[in-house]
Structure 1
Amino acid sequence: MPKKLERRLRVGVLGAGQIAQAAHFESCTKAANADLYAICDVADDLRERMAITHAAEKTYKNYDKMLADPDLDAVIIATADAFHVPASVRALQAGKHVLCEKPVGLTVEECLELKAVIEKSGKIFQVGHMKRFDAGLQAAKAFIRDEIGDLIALKAWYCDSTHRYPMTDAVQPLIVTSASARKPSSNPKADLRRYYMLAHGCHLIDTARYFAGDIVSVQARLAERAGIWCWFIDVEFASGTLGHLDLTVQVRMDWHEGFQIYGQNGSILGKTYNPWYYKTSEVDIFREADGATHRVLGADGHFYRRQLEGFARTILDSMPMEGADINDGLASVQTMVAIAQSVQSGKPVALADVTGGM
């Protein structure tokens, strides 16, 4: 891991649950330009155990008390989805920068309300679409920006596997739970169609937007059979690029994620791994000019740590934001809502027309 720099962002993590334990605590301790300054969670047993394990400088049971700490620079929101917007608003109003887990919100309206708070605060707000910090995807993005010319078509797929839990259990740290943990008022997994779209669909949508730009409308079909949820989504990009997305949950095979891009001066074929392997995507970039294929190695595949370091660079060094901002997060939610409405109506749905949630 890179050595710690002299100037570092002091980060407080809200929530000591699975995503914090599997990703954010370690990212703070390993980041070159950030430190795990504080942990906040209502569960006393969980909070104190995580503080000892990861050597946090301070702990808080009360979120507002952590936000009142003048030495705290920024907050990572690592809670359940339902708490993302309220927790982000409180942090911004307290004068803290925010890195919020995806999806940024559950409805279009609350995302718009959050956007207004961000603009008023003048603080940095980044959405946790950590795949933007995959070196393979970054190489593909650079080729699209600098060399590919007209982008003709994009196909992307995200297929979660029935075998993913034995795989992730083998590589993730043992996740510690607490009976005192705060939970949303309703069980997020009670509606699996909604849950899978929020958990996985937002990754697929953000990857498509990262490469091909703004989405104007979608037309989606959904099959729910044999314990498989399969969305096929035709996408209209503002650029005129043709798009097709495949979101399938519980395929009977290995994790299957990737993309294929056709352009004027070349093509790109990408294979993305289960994120908990911290393995950079294998992305083959073919240049028509020399008839050769190039693949970046990307030895550093710790996407979550790289995401935090990019967030810290934006704050400490006034660097342009490398990750997803509130407009990206809003567009992701709008697209998910449009997909749900298209499935119901059987017709194309324009993002500009969507309201509410899924």
Structure 2
Amino acid sequence: MPAAGRHHRGHIVSAGQTLDPNVPGIGLTGCGIISQCLLEGAELAGIPIRAVCDVDREKAARAAQRVGARVRETYEELLADPDIQAVIIALPNDAHYFAALQALDAGKHVFCEKPLTTSAAQSLEVARRAEASGLVFQMGYMKRFNPAFSAVKQRLHQIAPVTTASFRLTVSGDPVLEGPGREPSSWHADIKRAGGGFLVHSGSHLLDLMMFYFGLPEAVWGSLRRDASGNEYTNSFMFRFPDGLYVSLQMVQTRARGLGYAGSTWEEIVEVNGVNGRLAARGADWMGKIPPRATFHPADGEGPRELFTFWESQWAEEMKAFVTGIAEGRCLGSTAADGYRVDYVLEQLKRLENESGALELRYEL
């Protein structure tokens, strides 16, 4: 079974502390909403961004001013900049494929926002090219660096053997449950350009976490429902792993308000049960601004222990991992191969809208 990427906190400095002055020159392509999170992470980690580009010149100018970077007119110009050794791809999902291949062809290390591409076939091609290049290619699955979810990973051995696990996400929103479709307000809401809806945007993160914890599932069954626009607003799946472990994934968009411990619009819960204890992690917003929580219920009878209740930037941690990984010559987060595996599983899950029974998962990498 291919190994998941690993996060080694011991190699990473504290947020706000400047890294080695010989850090690679990093360029950013795409200055939309997600780039603001990544720029914040770079700022907190003391990582300079040297150049940015975007088809929207005003967005590029604002991003450049924020971090003191140069504006490049085109992506090709950014890649040709001799001061740039690594690029952050924060473009719409349907642009990831060509942007990633261009960066690899130019000999640049790559940080690519998720998903890797909008199809498993394209993701497999990029992953193979990334592995052959010898360059660091890290996916933007920042939940591996969320302190609560990371705490669960670090303590899995303490509750082993694991017997059951569940991943649940409930989000307040206004899904089009029935009736005519709606015009997408941006590429993010365009099912074709994004490669999917709720399942791709949020489910991909939970799949990456699941694989980070337990490896690769070998089969899945379940169901999903789409609204008239094609958005997968209700998803319920059961995964089987080679060691006999069964893990559930449930995702739903609802008009309910005041969710979770923070009374927010977001409730994300991961629970792992083992013979020797129980671990649980809870998040209250996708951006990680509200302090997450992690709880350990040990087998010694001392009661639950709160592992994490304060804030730490998942964005800063993943940016530090990217730079540290380049220095060490290895990816310290989700690899391009991990990105392909998530995209492959997503593609199979979409089949469950019309198929019943278990689907065997056969990875090509």
User: TM-score, normalised on structure 1?
Assistant: 0.85
CA drift of 1:65 comes to: 1.5
- CA–CA distance in structure 2, aligned partners of residues 342 and 4 of structure 1: 47
CA displacement 1:214-267 (0-9 Å, x = unmatched): 111111212457998211101112232111110112351321211111112111
Structure 1 position 230 matched with structure 2 position 245: no
CA drift of 1:277 comes to: 4.5
User: What are structure 1's unaligned runs of at least 5 residues?
Assistant: 165-182
CA displacement 1:77-115 (0-9 Å, x = unmatched): 100000112111111111111110011111111011101
The residue that corresponds to 1:44 in the other structure is 57
- CA–CA distance in structure 1, aligned partners of residues 334 and 131 of structure 2: 15
- CA–CA distance in structure 1, aligned partners of residues 248 and 240 of structure 2: 9
RMSD: 2.6
- CA–CA distance in structure 2, aligned partners of residues 335 and 280 of structure 1: 30
User: What are structure 2's unaligned runs of at least 5 residues?
Assistant: 1-14, 176-185, 260-265
Structure 1 position 132 matched with structure 2 position 169: no
Contact 2:197 2:232 (8 Å CA) reproduced: no
Q: Structure 1 154/203 Cα, relative in aligned 2: closer, same or farther at 3 Å?
A: same
Number of aligned residues? 330
SS in 1 for 2:324: helix
Structure 1 position 314 matched with structure 2 position 325: yes
Contact 2:94 2:194 (8 Å CA) reproduced: no
Tell me which protein shows more helix as a share of its residues: 1
The residue that corresponds to 2:222 in the other structure is 220
| Percent of aligned positions that are identical | 23
SS in 2 for 1:221: strand
Contact 2:224 2:350 (8 Å CA) reproduced: no
The residue that corresponds to 2:248 in the other structure is 244
> Paired residue for 2:209, among 207, 210, 232?
207
The residue that corresponds to 2:42 in the other structure is 28
CA drift of 1:6 comes to: 3.4
SS in 1 for 2:18: coil
Counterpart amino acid of 2:45?
A
The residue that corresponds to 1:281 in the other structure is 292
Counterpart amino acid of 1:347?
G
SS in 2 for 1:295: strand
CA drift of 1:195 comes to: 1.6
> Paired residue for 2:126, among 95, 114, 132?
114
CA drift of 1:289 comes to: 3.2
The residue that corresponds to 2:5 in the other structure is none
Contact 1:13 1:39 (8 Å CA) reproduced: yes
CA drift of 1:279 comes to: 3.3
User: TM-score, normalised on structure 2?
Assistant: 0.83
Contact 1:39 1:47 (8 Å CA) reproduced: yes
